[in-house]
Amino acid sequence: MATSDKLVERVLSTPTTQRNIKLAERYIRAAESVQKKQGKTLTLEKKVALATTLANTRKICEATNSANIPSKTYFLDMLTAVVPNLIAPDIVSTQALESKAGMISYLRFTYGTDKGQTTAGTMFNNSLYTGRSDQYYTSREIAEEAVVTGVNFEFTPVLPKTVQVTIPDGTVYVDDGTGNLINPSTAATVGTINYATGAFTCVSATDGSTATYEYNNEQVPDLKVPEINMSLAQIPIFAKSRKLAAYWGFDAAYDLKQQYGTEILDVMSAQAAGEIAHKQLVA
């Protein structure tokens, strides 16, 4: 079953949503009938969105005085026409808000270990967008780890002949496989590296120096493995008000029915739904 269907079923199990669907039953049936004529299916997600939205509108009275209420108390049922025709539920999972303000919860994944250029706490992925990804994070290679003389390398045991230390002036030192750091251009020994402990000495390695090396990521039980963390984050959202009124004459409705066999409610509903959809796309 699709993830969106599982989410909708979870929402359907709540008493509030079940009550809303029961109250909006006749509207849902009407929308299903129209969708069926168009060769479409009213999904569970759209039923939940329609029922929740209708429940919300029952709590809102837009008229502030009697002059705002027309003498003919028949209104175009905008929500039943618009909600089933939205394409959002066909693209992503959507849930109607039960109030004007709401909260979106999403999964957030971060690196849990300092490794190379990556700092613990850096976000690398979440449900909203992709963050910074480190191609070396899961490998045995450590790229450009900040180092200074007298401070051990983070990951051990270090594999011989894999160490490259770059000092601030751009000079690169390498290890000779026996624990010595040498300057390739002069063959002079400039420091040492203890492969087992990561102990490192190099007089020239001051602030701004980096080391690239590989470590044995298969050795147990002393293996140091980089970690990832997951958290449930939240961001607030606020619904914006949209209003649209539609008026027509009864004689126009009669002529349209007689001359073209078309119900004016169907025409107005389609136009209103298209206008709202257009405003949402360009907003």
The amino acid that residue 139 corresponds to is: S
CA distance 37 to 55: 26
Which two three-digit tokens encode residue 56? 């919300």
The amino acid that residue 208 corresponds to is: G
| pLDDT tens for each residue of the chain, 283 residues long | 445 556 556 666 778 888 888 888 888 888 888 788 878 888 888 888 888 888 877 765 554 455 555 544 445 566 777 777 777 777 776 777 777 888 888 889 999 999 999 999 999 988 777 777 889 999 999 999 999 988 899 999 999 999 999 999 999 999 999 999 999 999 899 999 999 999 999 988 889 999 999 999 887 667 788 999 999 888 888 877 777 677 778 888 888 888 888 888 778 777 777 776 665 544 4
Residue closest to 167 by CA, chosen among 116, 199, 211: 211
CA distance 35 to 77: 15
Q: What are the φ and ψ backbone dihedral angles of 141, each rounded to 5 degrees? A: -90, 135
CA distance 244 to 113: 54
179-196 in b/e form (b: 16+ CB < 10 A) is bebbeeeeeeebbebebe
